[in-house]
């Protein structure tokens, strides 16, 4: 009888521990399927091709802004972090944030920014475009 009571208590403890850990590390809140952001998967390969084509047009050092497609917050974060990984020699910041104020170029992957008067298109990339940010008060 004592063994049955200990076994039930242990199962209850393990179940509550599993619930607590799942809430703590937010596994249930991760954006997208877990396998979609791994080497060799389509989103990563497409992003790598876009950024590799942009690299020769970028200055050797400095801040580059990254603009990904409008998507859920978690996916946007992953795409930006992968962009940072593929451009390790540069500081990559998100376009549209205060950190982008120091950027000289914007790499837009799967997103069009052509209507922004601050931007001059430099190159068309596979699945995106590269823009130079004009200095304040500069026309064309």
Q: List CB contacts of 123: < 8 A, sequence separation 6 or more.
A: 53, 54, 57, 129, 130
Q: Are strands 119-125 and 105-109 parallel, antiparallel or unpaired?
A: unpaired
The answer to whether 100 and 65 have CB atoms below 8 angstroms apart is: yes
Cβ pair 140, 127 in contact under 8 A: no
Task: Tell me what pLDDT residue 29 has.
Answer: 46
Contact 90, 62 (CB under 8 A): yes
3-state secondary structure the chain: CHHHHHHHHHHHHHHHHHHHHHHHHCHHHCCCCHHHCCCCCHHHHHHHHHHHHHHHHCCCCCEEEEECCCCCHHHHHHHHHHHHHHCCCCEEEECCCHHHHHCCEEEEECCCCCCCCCEEEEEEECCEEEEEECCCCCCC
The domain limits of the chain are 34-133
> Is pLDDT at 47 greater than 80 in this prediction?
yes
- The predicted-structure confidence for 48-97, as pLDDT tens digits, reads as follows 999 999 999 998 888 999 998 877 667 788 888 999 999 998 999 999 88
Q: Report the pLDDT averaged over residues 104-110.
A: 93
What are the tens digits of pLDDT across the range 17-41?
676 666 555 544 444 555 567 888 8
């Amino acid at each position: 009888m004592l063994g049955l009571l200990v076994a039930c208590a242990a199962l209850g403890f393990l179940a509550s521990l599993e619930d607590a850990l799942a809430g703590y590390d937010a596994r249930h809140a991760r954006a997208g399927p877990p396998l979609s952001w791994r080497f060799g998967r389509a989103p990563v390969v497409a992003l790598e091709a876009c950024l590799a084509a942009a690299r020769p047009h970028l200055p050797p050092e400095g801040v580059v802004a990254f603009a990904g497609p409008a998507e859920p917050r978690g996916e946007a974060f992953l795409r930006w972090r992968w962009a940072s990984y593929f451009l390790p020699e540069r500081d990559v910041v998100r376009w549209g944030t205060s950190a982008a104020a120091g950027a000289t170029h914007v790499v837009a992957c799967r997103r069009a920014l052509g209507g922004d008067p601050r931007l001059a298109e430099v190159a068309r990339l596979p699945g995106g475009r590269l823009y130079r940010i004009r200095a304040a008060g500069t026309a064309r």
